[in-house]
A = this chain, B = another copy of it.
Amino acid sequence: MSAQTDVHTPPVRFDSTDLAVDPAELGEFLLGRYVEIRRHARSVCAHPDMWKIEGQPMPEHRQRVFGQLKRLADSGVVHLAFPSIVGGGENPGGNIASFEQIVLADPSLQIKSGVQWGLFGAAVMHLGTEEHHRKWLPGIMSLEIPGAFAMTETGHGSDVASIATTATYDLDTDEFVIHTPHRGAWKDYIGNAAQHGRAAVVFAQLIVEGENHGVHALYVPLRDDNGFLPGIGGDDDGYKGGLNGIDNGRLHFTNVRVPRENLLNRYGSVNSDGVYSSPIESRGRRFFTILGTLVQGRVSLVGASTVASQLASTIGIRYSLERRQFPIPGSSEEHVLMDYQQHQRRLIPRLANTYAMVFAQEVLLELFHQVFSGQADTEEHRQDLETLAAALKPYATWSALDIIQANREACGGQGFLAENRLAGLRADLDVYATFEGDNTVLLQLVAKRLLGDYARQFAKGDLGVMAGYVADQVGEAAVNRSGLRRLAQNVVDFGSTARSIGYVRSTASQRQLLTDRVATMVASLAESLKPASKLPPEQAAELMNAHQHELIEAAWAHSELVVWEAFTEALSRYEDGPTKQVLRWLRDLHGFVLIEKHRDWYLMNGRLSAHRAEAITQYINNRLLPRLRPHLKSLVDAFEPSDDLVRAPIALGEEAKRQEEARAYEGSSLKQ
């Protein structure tokens, strides 16, 4: 017999319409620490010259974006991260806060600017020394030197350590010789490579006196006014699934020589005697330090995905609040789409997730800023940042695709028209899931960190006994710093099954359910993988592979927890009042939907009874959604969606106007 019949929540509506959300105040709160920087970047993006022209053919689109890039350079909104000695703002967090808004203009422009300043420029900044900065950064900042970040090869994407391009030191001429040995070693998918790039930071195996010191980066001029320089060739990646305003392409090098000084040598130098040295002894750590600069791209994508989700939610929800379809029985009116339960189910939880992402990005940005501004640039903070970015980048990019798609489908045929932007946004953001670290690969990094933390914690304990778990409550500081709540919550107290829906409603209980799940999954994995340490490498890898799916599930559960924590932490900071009440429902909805999604786990592990698991769905559908329903307009208005940023006609009252016209016609025809 179905539990549904027992725990049925009658569809009586709790009237929440007397609560008034203050969108202006909430909007300010959402813009967070970087409120002014974000508003300024938006104002730059709001100019019609910066708008994406949907459906513009690729060649014109590329040209347009290149022109817009120049405009960004002139506006200075892309210079916030650079050193003050070259006129930068030395504000790494603010820089990303600014960057993430550019998706509102055109995702192609955003990613192209990410290539120029976030990858190419940032590589010179982070991997080079002051001499390099003075020499190249001014031209990079002004766009005098459009450049490429030439790391990925056709043969090796996620596995950077295996790239095959070489940079061999030639003692006789004091130069490096850059060489592409075969087709698989061509640099591929490189933004700015097909057309606009004048130079590139090229990643290659650094070979000195026959010895390979691993992957390093070199500054390599690519083109002058006459095209490619001698020894350099390439190819156009051509039309892509989206982001066609960017000239992605391929590059190959045939014994191309650059001066020794072009090695970006912060983490590895070669002197004129041909002697290699590095401040980081371990080759592995050096590699990960050099790759550490990539974290900026991941942080940026979390922000971009969040802003895109805000835009998509705004368009979908505004249209759904105006569009009517099917008559209300016993009335001459038609239902507004948003009054349908299924429509609420599709869009409101995704709005909650959008809010959660806004807060999660703020936590990530704070940690990023602390590390990259030097305020807290320790190894531990860097590792926390890596892990948090690796957890949030998959979460945010996949969530954005999900949010955009749900809103596009909720708008029906209108959603498919390019002018309403959802389809283009979906296409452009598609690749966010696989570039800058494939989501699946990143989640495995997270899982390894979780397992590592777990092992350290229990280095001398009995891994198999979960009941031995010691409560290790950590202060807010640790949570805020890393977004990584220590997993050892006091699950001891939790043993019994949740007995009431009231129980699940509390913040502490939601936290416990979400945390306990991660902790238990990690413990179980640690137990399963325990034999690996005693196995030969092949067999250890095989054992790991046999649990790869679980590893990724555990990492994802961790991402969910971190995002929920961010929402909760933000909620705790909000001033008491009706807006906070509505925000709490939104956070509860977010938590409930997560718990509902993993009901199977909670049931299998005795954390929820069947009765309560069922009640969660009823509570979502017949309590939380109706309560939030009257506040949707305010909740998207808080995103400060000005007309020149939203632009989609269906989100700007087009539909309401048509309905008025229809009503006027019907009225007049009745009178006749």
Asked whether B408 lies within 8 Å of A430 as measured between CB atoms, the reply is yes
Q: Closest approach, in angstroms, between the C-beta of A125 and any C-beta of chain B?
A: 25
Identical chains bound together, number = 2
Asked whether B427 lies within 8 Å of A415 as measured between CB atoms, the reply is no
Q: Closest approach, in angstroms, between the C-beta of A44 and any C-beta of chain B?
A: 25
Asked whether A423 lies within 8 Å of B600 as measured between CB atoms, the reply is no
| Interface 1/0 per residue, A297-333 and B, CB below 8 Å | 0000000000000000000000000000111111100
Asked whether A3 lies within 8 Å of B238 as measured between CB atoms, the reply is no
Asked whether A413 lies within 8 Å of B2 as measured between CB atoms, the reply is no
Check A569 for interface membership: any CB of B closer than 8 A.
Answer: no
A87 partner residues in chain B, CB cutoff 8 A? none
Check A49 for interface membership: any CB of B closer than 8 A.
Answer: no
Asked whether A416 lies within 8 Å of B440 as measured between CB atoms, the reply is no
Check A472 for interface membership: any CB of B closer than 8 A.
Answer: no
Contact of A2 among B188, B440, B520 (CB under 8 A): B520
Asked whether A331 lies within 8 Å of B183 as measured between CB atoms, the reply is no
Q: A157-B412, A412-B157, A538-B329 are in contact. Are A241 and B434 (CB under 8 A)?
A: no
Asked whether A162 lies within 8 Å of B334 as measured between CB atoms, the reply is yes
Check A91 for interface membership: any CB of B closer than 8 A.
Answer: no
Question: A242–B399 Cα gap in the complex (Å)?
Answer: 22
A334 partner residues in chain B, CB cutoff 8 A? 159, 162
| Interface 1/0 per residue, A235-266 and B, CB below 8 Å | 00111111010000000000000000000000
Question: A54–B669 Cα gap in the complex (Å)?
Answer: 49
Question: A422–B430 Cα gap in the complex (Å)?
Answer: 12
Interface majority SS (helix, strand, loop, mixed), chain A: helix
Asked whether A416 lies within 8 Å of B185 as measured between CB atoms, the reply is no
Check A621 for interface membership: any CB of B closer than 8 A.
Answer: yes
Contact of A416 among B430, B467, B614 (CB under 8 A): B430
A57 partner residues in chain B, CB cutoff 8 A? 57
Check A549 for interface membership: any CB of B closer than 8 A.
Answer: yes
Asked whether A341 lies within 8 Å of B600 as measured between CB atoms, the reply is no
Check A604 for interface membership: any CB of B closer than 8 A.
Answer: yes
Contact of A658 among B154, B541, B614 (CB under 8 A): B154
A53 and chain B: residue at smallest CB distance: B239
Asked whether B413 lies within 8 Å of A189 as measured between CB atoms, the reply is yes
Check A226 for interface membership: any CB of B closer than 8 A.
Answer: no
Q: Closest approach, in angstroms, between the C-beta of A500 and any C-beta of chain B?
A: 17
Check A521 for interface membership: any CB of B closer than 8 A.
Answer: yes
A47 partner residues in chain B, CB cutoff 8 A? none
Q: Closest approach, in angstroms, between the C-beta of A519 and any C-beta of chain B?
A: 10
Asked whether A658 lies within 8 Å of B603 as measured between CB atoms, the reply is no
Asked whether B610 lies within 8 Å of A606 as measured between CB atoms, the reply is yes
Q: Closest approach, in angstroms, between the C-beta of A294 and any C-beta of chain B?
A: 15
Question: A188–B621 Cα gap in the complex (Å)?
Answer: 34
Q: Closest approach, in angstroms, between the C-beta of A376 and any C-beta of chain B?
A: 32
Asked whether B239 lies within 8 Å of A658 as measured between CB atoms, the reply is no
Question: A654–B49 Cα gap in the complex (Å)?
Answer: 41
Question: A417–B5 Cα gap in the complex (Å)?
Answer: 50
Check A112 for interface membership: any CB of B closer than 8 A.
Answer: no
Chain A residues 155 to 208 lying within 8 A of chain B, measured CB to CB, are: 155-159, 162, 164, 181-185, 188-189
A614 and chain B: residue at smallest CB distance: B604
A8 and chain B: residue at smallest CB distance: B528
Check A342 for interface membership: any CB of B closer than 8 A.
Answer: yes
Contact of A423 among B240, B415, B547 (CB under 8 A): B240
Q: Closest approach, in angstroms, between the C-beta of A624 and any C-beta of chain B?
A: 13
Check A581 for interface membership: any CB of B closer than 8 A.
Answer: no
Asked whether A613 lies within 8 Å of B621 as measured between CB atoms, the reply is no
Stretch of A78-86, A99-107, A275-283, A659-667 contacting B (4+ beta carbons < 8 Å): A659-667
Check A28 for interface membership: any CB of B closer than 8 A.
Answer: no
Check A543 for interface membership: any CB of B closer than 8 A.
Answer: yes
- A-B CB proximity, top 7 nearest: A241-B423, A55-B239, A11-B546, A329-B537, A599-B600, A239-B418, A2-B524
Which residues of A are interface residues toward B (Cβ below 8 A)? 1-5, 8, 10-11, 54-55, 57-58, 152, 154-159, 162, 164, 181-185, 188-189, 237-242, 244, 325-331, 334, 339-342, 345, 408-409, 412-413, 415-419, 422-424, 426-427, 430-431, 433-435, 438-440, 464, 466-467, 520-521, 523-524, 527-528, 536-538, 540-543, 545-550, 552, 599-600, 603-606, 610, 613-614, 621-622, 658-659, 661-662, 664-665, 669
Can you name 30 A-B residue pairings with CB atoms under 8 Å?
A: A1-B467, A2-B524, A3-B604, A5-B528, A55-B58, A57-B57, A155-B659, A157-B412, A158-B325, A158-B412, A162-B326, A162-B327, A164-B662, A181-B669, A188-B413, A237-B417, A238-B418, A239-B417, A239-B418, A239-B419, A241-B426, A242-B423, A339-B545, A409-B440, A413-B434, A423-B430, A549-B621, A599-B604, A600-B600, A604-B613
